[in-house]
Amino acid sequence: MISAQLLAWFRVNKRPLPWRESKTPYTIWISEIMLQQTRVNQVIKFYLCFMEKFPDIKSLAAASEQEVLKYWQGLGYYSRGRNIHKAAIQINTLYNNQFPTQYESIKKLPGVGPYTAGAIASIAFHSPVVAIDGNVLRVISRLFAVNTAINTSEGKKIITGIVEDILPKKQPGDFNQALMELGALVCKPKNPDCDSCPLKNYCIAFQQGIQYQLPKKISNKKNHLRYFNYIVIRNPLNKTSYIHYRENSNDIWFHLFEFPMVEDDHLYDPDEICSHLLNHWSLNSGQFVLTNISADFRHQLSHQTIYARFFTLEIALPLNNLPDTIQAVRNKDINKYPFYVLISKYLEFTHSKK
């Protein structure tokens, strides 16, 4: 009865999202990866742009990583973009551009975990496998009054077992989507709309009046403060700027670009940034002029808060003996490079001031 009631509700209430216009494994895969840690309304414009540029596995596999990251710019969690590029190359090599059809094979692709593999296998190939995301964890914890924290392995195991028991074998893809849709539209984290819920007559939490107390979670987040001092070096004579390529594979922003940066336990003042250039870049005071200090930027990540300040320098001659990761690029070409969100915010801010 639960599955029948939920599927009937889904047929009437599902949102007309662009990735639902096609049930190909490629479109499902791209949308599901984009939707990880990102809201639907934010994903739509990125999805449409990305699919226009890379309409299939072949075009994605043929692109360079930098090109893929450029079209991923703004979505954050850039390892997702790197992984879909790796996976596309792997599908091209191992499966002749045909998306693998089996759950276990799909799960072996770079960046694909149990949830994404379950979503692709059930929606595209009608495989009777579950897809457990945050929405499903919340819905099931309330529906069956699960008291175990959903962000523990035990809690996830309990909920996965419940969903496997109620999963209809004939419509697994629609059922998985319906559970996720119910969590997104009705069974919301803080303000569940229980009166509109198609499953309220079956919901133990609603019957007991404890829906606001569930799901239970163990809090283990510790916010880390970081301070970035960016050095924006411009040469007005040849209209170039210097940018830095992050090549450390342990960095969340590796293979992306930024302006050269000094991280410290505070934001620098003008004297400190000039001292750094003199002592660490082997510049002399006659080689550069500090022309601008930006307003401070605040950028929030899941477990850290970044405060940033941008110092603009003008130089008259090209800089020599710089690391290979720092390069001069023409100002008119700077937007061709993939930057992470904080740098994009700064570039948009400076452009709006012109």
Domain 224-352 architecture: Alpha-Beta Complex (3.90)
The segment(s) of the chain belonging to CATH 1.10.340.30 are 2-213
pLDDT digit string, tens, across residues 197-237:
999 999 999 999 999 999 999 877 778 899 999 999 999 98
Give me the catalytic one of 21, 32, 258, 272.
32
Q: What is the mean pLDDT of residues 83-106?
A: 95
For residue range 312-348, list pLDDT tens digits in order.
Answer: 999 887 777 778 888 999 999 998 999 998 999 899 8
Fold of 2-213: Endonuclease III; domain 1 (1.10.340)
Say if residue 240's pLDDT is above 80: yes
Q: Which residue do the tokens 């007005």 mark? A: 236
Q: Which amino acid is at 50?
A: F
Say which DSSP state 18 is in.
G
CA distances from 92 to 95, 107, 242 (A): 6, 16, 36
What average pLDDT is seen over the chain? 92
User: Which string of DSSP letters, residue by residue, matches 108-142?
Assistant: TSTT--HHHHHHHHHHHH--------HHHHHHHHH
Confidence grade of residue 354 (pLDDT, cut at 50, 70, 90): low
Is 247 an annotated catalytic residue?
no
Q: How far apart are CA 247 and CA 251, in angstroms?
A: 8
Q: What is the pLDDT of residue 302?
A: 78
Is residue 112 predicted with pLDDT exceeding 70? yes
Output the 3-class SS for 307-322: EEEEEEEEECCCCCCC
User: Scanning the structure block, which residue is given the tokens 């029948």?
Assistant: 4
Name the residue type at position 302.
S
Determine the average pLDDT of the residues in 349-353. 72
303-331 b/e with 16+ CB inside 10 Å = b? eeebebbbbbbebeeebeeeeeebeeeee
Global pTM reads 0.80
Q: For the CA atoms of 140, 143, 144, 148, what is the dihedral angle to 10 degrees?
A: 50
H or E element that contains 84? helix 79-94
Confidence (pLDDT) at 353: 63
The confidence score (pLDDT) of residue 249 equals 65
Tokens of 67: 């090109």
Beta-carbon count within 10 A of 223 CB: 10
162, 230 Cβ separation under 8 angstroms: no
Least confident span in 48-57, 116-125, 131-140, 334-343? 334-343
69 CB burial (10 A radius; 0-12, 13-18, 19+): buried
Range(s) within the chain of domains with CATH label 3.90.79.10:
224-352
- Give residue 352's pLDDT: 63
Output the pLDDT for position 146.
97
